[in-house]
């Protein structure tokens, strides 16, 4: 049997490069990329997409929409790493651990939208708690996240690693207009009915994310505390290969979080911290923005789809 042909469209960007690296040496698939001269040739890209079994789009939003629209072969399956289709009901959201049956939906889908890096952490923390009724769907959620500068793409990497690398600031908060494109994705897939406040930032490190969601216990249903929130997350992710929930006793001993702790992996580490006397809880997620937040997630989705094709 011929091994499936996987086309990486945009393999020179930060996400595409890491997907290529993660798939290098695999013998269960064939990789297709375009030579540099053809990367912006719409006709050649359409030919490659339609010749593949699975195409992974590592493109800006508008080119990703154009690439998806170019599919005429009904058997071609797409994994879109852009944000173009993440709230599109016609696409399956590519977060396997999000809910029961999501892995199967991804495995059998023709169109899968890979989650954004920040939404991965926010949704992982909030969705199980909202579904369980421990956090109201209309909770006034605030999400703060610090990512490595690779989250800004090639231009950001160049600002830190290029000839004038000192141009990159030690820390910068952005999205001050509260209109970041990830916010609707967080709202929809976390199950919220009110738009969260999302405050993203970059630090002077290449990759990794720490994301936090503070909660006031007085705004949660009666009797909900940090232990119940932790137990809900623990139950939801029991048996998940790539999601860890830090035990309560271990979290109590922590004094800081390292955004780079899981770099190079496809893992996501969740924890619940709190001050019960003050009625406050902090939900946290640590992961690699280019791993579980991008290329690692894409390869995880690809493997689900390949297994279904076998």
DSSP characters for the chain? Answer: -PPPEEEEETTTSHHHHHHHHHHTT-SSSEEE---GGGTT-HHHHHHHHHH-SEEEE-S-HHHHHHHHHT---TT-EEEE-SSTTTT-TTSEE--TTSSTTHHHHHHH-SEEEPPPHHHHHHHHHHHHHHHTTSS-TT---EEEEEEEGGGGHHHHHHHHHSTTGGGS-SEEE--TTS--TTHHHHHHHHT-SSPPEEEEEEESSSS-EEEEEEEEGGGSPTT--HHHHHHHHHHHTTT-SSEEE--HHHHHT-----TTTTTTS--EEEEEEEEGGGTEEEEEEEE-TTIIIIIHHHHHHHHHHHHHH-
- Please check whether residues 93 and 188 belong to one and the same domain: no
- Please check whether residues 80 and 221 belong to one and the same domain: no
**232: annotated active-site residue:** no
- Please check whether residues 194 and 301 belong to one and the same domain: no
Does residue 68 carry a pLDDT above 70?
yes
- Please check whether residues 21 and 148 belong to one and the same domain: no
Here the CATH number for the domain that contains residue 41 is 3.40.50.720
- Please check whether residues 152 and 228 belong to one and the same domain: yes
Range with lowest mean pLDDT among 8-12, 135-139, 145-149, 287-291: 8-12
Does residue 165 carry a pLDDT above 70?
no
Here the CATH number for the domain that contains residue 121 is 3.30.360.10
- Contact between residue 14 and residue 38 where contact means Cβ atoms under 8 Å apart: no
Of 117, 129, 143, 270, catalytic: 117
Residue 281: per-residue pLDDT: 98
- Contact between residue 8 and residue 31 where contact means Cβ atoms under 8 Å apart: yes
- Please check whether residues 159 and 80 belong to one and the same domain: no
- Please check whether residues 145 and 285 belong to one and the same domain: yes
- Please check whether residues 143 and 197 belong to one and the same domain: yes
pLDDT one-digit tens code per residue, 269-302: 999 999 999 999 999 999 999 999 999 999 999 9
- Please check whether residues 184 and 267 belong to one and the same domain: yes
Residue 76: per-residue pLDDT: 98
pLDDT one-digit tens code per residue, 107-117: 999 999 999 99
Give the number of domains in the chain: 2
Q: Which domain holds residue 70?
A: 5-115+294-309
- Please check whether residues 15 and 80 belong to one and the same domain: yes
Residue 1: per-residue pLDDT: 57
pTM of the model: 0.96
Show Cβ contacts of residue 259 under 8 Å, excluding neighbours closer than 6 positions. Answer: 146, 147, 148, 203, 205, 208, 209, 210, 286
- Please check whether residues 129 and 91 belong to one and the same domain: no
- Please check whether residues 260 and 124 belong to one and the same domain: yes
Mean pLDDT of 124-146: 98
């Amino acid at each position: 049997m011929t091994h499936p042909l996987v086309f990486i469209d945009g393999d020179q960007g930060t996400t595409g490069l890491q997907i290529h690296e993660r798939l290098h040496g695999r013998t269960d698939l064939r990789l297709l990329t375009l030579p540099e001269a053809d990367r912006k040739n719409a006709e050649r890209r359409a030919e490659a997409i339609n010749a593949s079994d699975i195409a992974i789009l590592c493109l800006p939003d508008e080119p990703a929409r154009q690439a998806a629209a170019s599919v005429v072969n009904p058997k071609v399956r797409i994994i879109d790493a852009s944000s173009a289709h993440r709230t599109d009901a016609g696409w399956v959201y590519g977060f396997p651990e999000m809910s029961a049956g999501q892995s199967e939906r991804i495995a059998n889908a023709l169109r899968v939208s890979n989650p954004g890096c920040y939404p991965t952490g926010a949704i992982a923390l909030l969705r199980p708690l909202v579904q369980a009724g421990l956090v109201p769907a209309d909770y006034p959620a605030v999400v703060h996240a610090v990512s490595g500068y690779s989250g800004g793409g090639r231009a950001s990497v160049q600002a830190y690693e290029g000839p004038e690398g000192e141009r990159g600031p030690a820390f910068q908060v952005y999205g001050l207009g509260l209109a970041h494109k990830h916010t609707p994705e967080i709202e929809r897939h976390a199950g919220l009915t009110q738009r969260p406040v999302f405050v993203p930032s970059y630090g002077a490190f290449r990759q990794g994310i720490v994301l936090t969601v503070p909660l006031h216990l007085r705004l949660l249903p009666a009797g909900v505390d940090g232990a119940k929130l932790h137990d809900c997350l623990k139950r939801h992710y029991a048996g998940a290969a790539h999601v860890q929930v830090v035990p309560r006793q271990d979290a109590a001993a922590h004094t800081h979080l390292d955004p780079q702790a899981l770099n190079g992996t496809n893992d996501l580490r969740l924890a619940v911290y709190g001050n019960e006397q003050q009625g406050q809880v902090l939900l946290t997620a640590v992961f690699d923005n280019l791993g579980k937040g991008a290329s690692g997630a894409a390869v995880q989705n690809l493997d689900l789809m390949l297994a279904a094709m076998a």
